[in-house]
Structure 1
Amino acid sequence: MTDMKTPPSKARAVIIGGGVAGCSVAYHLAKLGWKDVVLLERKQLTSGTTWHAAGLIAQLRSSKNMTRLAKYSQELYGKLEEETGVATGFRRCGSITVALTDERLEEITRQASMARAFGVDVEEITPAQVKERYPHINLDGVKGGVYLPKDGQGDPANIALALAKGAKMNGAHIFERMKVTEIHVDGDRVSGVSWQRDGSEESGMIDADFVVNCGGMWARDIGEMADVSVPLHACEHFYIVTENIPDLKQMPVLRVPDECAYYKEDAGKILLGAFEPESKPWGMNGISQDFEFDQLPEDFDHFEPILEMAVERVPVLADAGIHTFFNGPESFTPDDAYHLGEAPNLKNFFIMAGFNSIGIQSSGGAGWALAEWMDKGLPPFDLGDVDIRRMQPFQNNKTYLFERAKESLGLLYADHFPYRQMATARGVRRSPFHAHLKERGAVFGEVAGWERANWFANADQEPEYKYSWKRQNWFQNAAEEHRAVRENVGMYDMTSFGKIRVEGRDACAFLNYVCGNDVDVPVGKITYTQFLNKRGGIEADVTVTRLAENSYIVVTPAATVQREMHWMRRHLGNFQALIFDATSAEAVLAVMGPNSRRLLELVSNHDWTNDNHPFGQARDVEIGMGLARAHRVTYVGELGWELYVSTDMAAHVFETLFEAGQDMNLKLCGMHMMDSLRIEKAFRHFGHDITGEDHVLEAGLGFAVKTAKESFVGRDAVLRKKEQGLDMRLVQFALKDPLPLMYHHEPIVQDGKIVSYITSANYGHTLGAAVGLGYVPCKGQSMADMLASKFEIEIAGQRFEAEASMKPMYDPKSERVKV
């Protein structure tokens, strides 16, 4: 598929892999005017996973930006045939998702509300209306459905081939039967690849400015060539295609997630696919080098339970013969989100892989976003959901991936309950307090592999989650923990939060360059700050504590350590400083609440008063017979300290504090408590309320930016926004009805019109209602005029009146943290 017979010796970008992902990246780079784009495919284009994909093309995804990319894919595929002459088979036939339980019905109606906030056409429909649109369905047990009229389907292989042709038409070079055998690295930057022609001794090298890993099931192995982690694992994925069914007309795609099944009409036949609860990992010993348009052995016993339910649900299947029983491998990631972006440890090495069965609907938009990222140096908007930097190095472990893959596939159609925790591949990362907390009733969740106590069960209560869209079984437990910190004293484990050390001669100058705030402060001072990008967007939300003249510790959320390390290394330049992850070196206990000072005075001779230890200061202290560093800072809006303890002394410090606290009714608390407290105080949550596309001033964090500094990343964008004025403003909302629950992505309705959505939410046990944050348009308006509007929040199709505030609804002057 190229006029050149041999790859050139130099290229601006080399793309590894000729499935729909690689073809999309080549197409979009070529469209941007990149010359010398080379795609190398080990066998034939589409011969890995793309050729056997089901070809479902949905618009709605789990976040605004993932939806934007899916909508882009649809629009692209709709015009590709006209552009390239290659038929893509794309048509908008719509899709229906039906619910067989009350919980699923709430899930899909909440998703319908979310769709409206994201600008996706959607309609909640009754069982009778489901039958009108899909006459072959048996309505037994169907409680309702959601219809998306602009969803579609297409021919996966031809979509990829159309993208490949479009890439060639714009100057890209595509080579089949060229296997990449080595990835070259020069210092901290990728520098090219070596290749060998399939079935031949012919080989060569390409010097490249960029290399893109679009290797699909092979992406993990390709990553290892460059010492880059790309965590994914192949699983067997099953579907059947019936014989021709007389008079079968085009119908919407039908999804019945409660029966793990989807149905697609295709040329007079029905394709029935499955996402079974426990999947079958495949390729544990590596994938054959000869794999090309291959399928795996049938396993009818594994598929039979799905088929039995399907014959009841769509009775026409009972009389239709099976034309094809297909079992093909697809790759799945640890969190069911694909991998996109620059490798955290290798410059200009980009990844786009691990699509979790949504490669066709995602690759058009993802390829565009990656090309923009490579071209501009930043993603076009926040892509944190899929950013490869969210993955932790240990997640590339083969045993871990095998265990997690058993669950990942089935989760696509499982109930997506709030707070749902992964069940497989657990217990990898544990703080030194883990056993102490477990013994006392902790129920753990998992973030970035860390086991974290989310709530504490009572003695007569089963210590496990009972999921629901309503109040879950831990609601009152978290309420009691919440009240303990508001009214008395609570203690919780914050060990999982990232601790990045920055040391060296230029540590201060370097951090002042990447931070918006001024970190040239006295030793012991804690600075709250953001890393900004050149658009003024927020790349990180951290505290920076000066430990010594040339030594700092940057504290960051557990899931973003790799992201922050990458961002700092990318901007290090000629600064003389050492950056390293010290998270596991210290355990952290937070002691928070109006009586926290009293508890700490029982175990330490340190002077905990305001005069000696004011807010925003870190001091070395003694706790019992051990040593600690006490940071007076809070994410819960109360008086308190975070105690940093070397891991060898952690157990002793915990036991000392816990024993001393018994006469004070000290309460052990979890992460759900922390989140409900911080939302009442309107503290931002990185990744939800603040991201790389949210301007720091519109996020209400201008107080943490010091433009008086001569030079820092994002300074010009901050000054420009100050001059031009704000377009959006982050606002806090509290429902006036105490019963409904918000989680995130619920539409914000201003004077009867949907204008935005809730970015994060929880129940405010002190305020007595669900509380959330969300951006509201404010261009040309005073804040007073904006807040004078009538605000409602839409939840599962129903609207609830809400109070809006620019100031925190709880302790707006932060008097409680400084007592």
Structure 2
Amino acid sequence: MALPPQKARVVIVGGGVIGCSVAYHLSKLGWTDVVLLERKQLTSGTTWHAAGLIAQLRASKNMTRLAKYSQELYGSLEAETGIATGFRRNGSITVALSEERREEILRQASMARAFGVEAEEISPSELLRRYPHVNTDGVRAAVYLDKDGQGDPANIALAMARGARQRGAQILERVKVTGFATAGRRITGVSWQAGGESGTTACEHVVNCAGMWGHEVGRKMGVNVPLHACEHFYIVTDTVPGLQQLPTLRVPEECAYYKEDAGKILLGAFEPVAKPWGMSGIPDSFEFDQLPEDFDHFEPILEMAVHRMPILAEAGIHTFFNGPESFTPDDAYHLGLAPEMDNVWVAAGFNSIGIQSAGGAGMALASWMDSGEKPFDLGDVDIARMQPFQGNRSYLFERSRETLGLLYADHFPFRQKATARGIRRSPLHDALKAEGAVFGEFAGWERANWFADEGQDAAYHYSWKRQNWFDNAAREHKAIRENVGIYDMSSFGKIRIEGPDAEAFVNHVAASNLSVPVGKIVYSQFLNASGGIEADVTVTRLSETAYLVVTPAATRLADQAWMRRHVGDHRVTLTDMTAAEAVICVMGPNSRDLLRQVSPDDFSNAVNPFGTCQQIEIGMGTARAHRVTYVGELGWELYVSTDMAAHVFEVLRDAGRGMDARLCGLHMMDSCRIEKGFRHFGHDISSEDHILEAGLGFAVKKTDDPYIGREAVLKKREEGLQRRLVQFLLTDPEPLLYHAEPIVRDGNIVGYLSSGAYGHHLGAAVGMGYVPSAGETAQDVLASRYEIEIAGRRVAATPSLKPLYDPKSERVKV
């Protein structure tokens, strides 16, 4: 048997469909010394038993882009490699059995049109015509996507493997990876065993494509790859006489999908409570294996399926299959450069959509590895989004019981995970809970999203319409706009930069001028070479040699990794200070009056103008008061040592009662920020959104000092904007906006909303989204007629390039 070489440019660990895709796409880019090592045989883990459904539409534009690429690739592989992939476009139908699900699938159909995917709402009678075996009882709506398809999973993988080999890649089976040699933050070699031989292959890059072994392999690499295997069930009937090619049929409310395959019907399940598997590790002997049958677990799905598809009662069951698949904590796969190392890449955890994702994911990762830059925004799946604690085995076991079923659950706005909760808590958690806080989970943090009234059920009641907390959030919003509100933002990521070169370093990585006096706060972005936004932060100068970078909770690790990779020769240290300080926000026109009651310090414009901080006494403790805002009002963020946070909160709460100060949650913050036109990182701004087109040119430094992305900023200023981020206010106060709703300009879809929320002060829903504007002035953009499409209905909207609320920011500077 062939043995691995002594050295390679890249070693790929794992020979499932994604490992083969990465090898294929790297070889297409001219990487000739590519080595893929598979412990058993190619596809022998999960790929071989996948259902092979290949859908186009995903939850975001770029994920849809990758899925569409997969389809196009699989359709051409046979001509290139001679291996038939079985790919055919047979279409797919998703049905709704309730009004809430009807709203969801119609919103998805609108989103599909914005993403360039053909989607058609069909009636129950049309559903029966396209799928004559289905029982249409209870069907409220259906959506048909004619370009969806299916394929042969194993042959798709083997075709990509052959394509890689044809370009010089070495793909070796029966080679087990046993360990890794490291030097600092890099892996220098991959140790292996093959038969009676062992050795080490020196390499420049390593890619973890180990599937359900990805977590274990990641630990050996020194990186965190949170995923867990779950049992996944389907049955295959005997041959059904006269059965013709059919679309894939999904009935999410019955947790089922149906696939016609060679005259048989495959019924697959995504049950609400899954069965995690392999808690003690996956057996070393595992190869094309299946797990024990559990008919009792599958029976409730089958009962509903027999009602929905009566021919199942007549067809015998040929195969009852149970095989493992890996699931991640948020149902999104892992892709990209691991934050803990500088040459370890990950492509794993595909949550039962590996076949439809692998082509695009392999292409995107190969492009990233080849150029050193993401080809476009991959924030939905970037491995750097995962928090360190999420590699905890107990956490993964508990969360994986839920995530499998969430694929087919109602994707309600603001839906919270039910499992693996309560892990990261603010020092104020219990105090807020006692006052009626209803918590949501974000990056593991329990955060107060809204406050229930006395006697009100302190829990979410989900809907696509106004949820049970809508009026609560409206009152919290009103308090911020008209009086004063208090809310907890302790989850902010806080990174301290310290050292003799701190000023030079922050000026290198940030686009703003940070040669500022001690105590100055600067709103800034970290840019990539294309001028895209890698991070959206505030930077506070604490001393001559120290700065504090404050980031969103979910991006602290990614932002710190970005900075660390650009340290170069700068003499600085980067320290995660997130847990060291709580952050209590006091916001609203009467916030100054509240602070004056609890502190002897001066909060006037003369002493503490907007964009500065000062050390203060508060109650019997101390804090650092940052005069900034994300809600568009006068206010302060109080950074308080964790040990004093409860005391400071009690002092503020007691004093605030006399002013009718209201405790507020983060739904309020989102509705206030969108009225003010403040951008939300990961939605309105990302790594592929140019800072000038995002309307953030004011934050770019005006000096000639070099910084990452400077050339792209200068080029864009010279060439002009290709698109603009526009704010929209619906003219109808009833509909709600969330994100991804199509933007219709003069009757044509031109984009989609990057974010949306209800503007309680403005009296209607507000959205933000990019509008193409090449060669146009701002006046040209605003002169058009705009509508937003919501579940197939178009609603008139008023556009604005300036904030709809307080466009001159007079309220924050009073």
What does 1:144-183 align with in structure 2 at a 5 Å threshold?
A: 144-183=141-180
User: 621, 629, 634: which is aligned to 1:634?
Assistant: 629
TM-score by length of 2: 1.00
Matched, 1:747 2:742: yes
2:486 paired residue number: 491
CA distance in 2, matches of 1:679, 1:574: 40
Residue 242 of structure 1 is matched in structure 2 by 237
Which segments of 5 or more consecutive residues in structure 1 lack a partner in the other structure? Answer: none
- Tell me, what secondary structure is at the counterpart of 1:661? helix
CA distance in 2, matches of 1:8, 1:98: 52
Of the three residues 437, 441, 445, the one matched with 1:446 is 441
Write the mapping of 1:408-557 to structure 2, written as runs, cut at 5 A.
Answer: 408-557=403-552
RMSD of aligned alpha carbons: 0.6
Q: Quick one: which amino acid aligns to residue 187 of structure 2?
A: V
Distance of aligned partners of 1:10 and 1:707 in 2 relative to their CA distance in 1, 3 Å threshold: farther
Q: Deviation of residue 419 (structure 1)?
A: 0.3
| Of 114, 139, 157, the match for 1:142 | 139
Give the match for residue 298 of structure 1: 293
Query: Residue 669 of structure 1 corresponds to which residue in structure 2?
Result: 664
Task: In structure 1, give the amino acid aligned to 2:325.
Answer: E
Query: Does residue 204 of the first structure (1) align with residue 199 of the second (2)?
Result: yes
User: What amino acid maps onto 2:95 in structure 1?
Assistant: V
Letter in 2 for 1:224: R
Distance 2:699 2:760 in 1: 28
Cα deviations across residues 283-303 of structure 1 (Å, max 9, x unaligned)? 001000000000000000000
Which whole-Å CA distance do the structure 2 matches of 1:118 and 1:751 have between them? 18
Aligned equivalents of 1:128 and 1:256: distance in 2? 16
Paired positions, count: 814
Deviations 1:123-147 (A, max 9, x none): 0111111111000000000011000
Q: Does 1:40 align with 2:37?
A: yes
Distance (Å, rounded) in 1 between the aligned partners of 2:106 and 2:703: 49
Structure 2 letter corresponding to 1:611: A
2:725 corresponds to which residue?
A: 730
Task: Check if 1:379 corresponds to 2:380.
Answer: no
Shift of 1:201: 2.7
Match for residue 314 of structure 2?
A: 319
Is 1:28 the counterpart of 2:25? The answer is yes
Q: What is the CA–CA distance in structure 2 between the aligned matches of 1:94 and 1:170, rounded to whole Å?
A: 33
* Partner of residue 273, structure 1: 268
Q: Where does residue 116 of structure 1 map in the other structure?
A: 113
Residue 363 of structure 1 is matched in structure 2 by 358
Which of these residues, 703, 709, 713, is aligned with residue 714 of structure 1? 709
CA shift, 1:35, in A, is 1.5
Work out whether residues 707 and 715 of structure 1, in 8 Å CA contact, stay in contact via their aligned partners in 2.
no
Structure 2 match to 1:226: 221
Please tell me whether the aligned partners of residues 707 and 719 of structure 1 are also in contact (alpha carbons under 8 angstroms): no
Contact 1:251 1:265 in 2 (8 A): yes
Map of 1:214 onto structure 2: 209
Deviates more, 1:181-190 or 1:804-813: 181-190
Indicate conservation of the 8 Å contact 1:245/1:268, yes or no: yes
% identity of equivalent residues: 71
CA offset at residue 707 of structure 1?
Answer: 4.4
Q: CA shift at 1:120, angstroms? A: 0.2
Letter in 2 for 1:361: Q
- Write out the 4+ residue segments of structure 1 that deviate beyond 3 Å after TM superposition: none
Verify: 1:93 aligned to 2:93, yes or no.
no
Given the alignment, which residue of 43, 56, 70 partners 2:53? 56
Which residue of structure 2 lines up, in the alignment, with residue 331 of structure 1?
Answer: 326
Provide the secondary structure at the position in 2 that maps to 1:664. Answer: coil
CA distance in 1, matches of 2:572, 2:593: 40
Cα-to-partner distance string for 1:668-722 (whole Å, 9 max, x where unaligned): 0000000000000000000000000000000000010014242100000000000
CA distance in 1, matches of 2:516, 2:635: 22
Residue identity matched to 2:255: C
TM-score normalised to structure 1 length? 0.99
Q: Distance in 2 between matches of 1:673 and 1:463?
A: 16
Structure 2 partner of 1:388 = 383
The CA distance in 2 between the partners of 1:155 and 1:363, in whole Å, is 13
The aligned residue for residue 703 of structure 1 is 698
**2:62 aligned counterpart, secondary structure:** helix
> Contact 1:96/1:253 (CA < 8 Å) preserved in 2?
yes
Which stretches in structure 2 are left out of the alignment for 5+ residues?
none
For 1:593, the equivalent position in structure 2 comes to: 588
Task: Provide the secondary structure at the position in 2 that maps to 1:636.
Answer: coil
Show the counterpart of 2:187: 190
Letter in 1 for 2:352: S
Q: Is the 8 A contact 1:518 1:709 kept in 2?
A: no
Match of 1:104 in 2: 101
8 Å Cα contact 1:338-1:355 kept in structure 2? yes
Match of 2:683 among 675, 685, 688: 688
Partner Cα separation in structure 1 for residue 619 and residue 342 of structure 2: 47
Paired residue secondary structure (2:25): helix
- 1:226-258 deviation line (CA, Å, top 9, x unaligned): 221000000000000000000000000000000
Alignment check: 8 A CA contact 2:730 2:765 kept: yes
Structure 1 residue 769: Cα displacement: 0.3
- Asked if the contact 1:761–1:773 (Cα under 8 Å) also holds between the matched residues in 2, the reply is yes
SS at match of 1:77: helix
1:309 equivalent in alignment to 2:301: no
Residues 1:79 and 2:76 are matched in the alignment: yes
Contact (CA 8 Å) 1:793, 1:799: kept in 2 or not? yes
Distance 1:264 1:535 in 2: 43
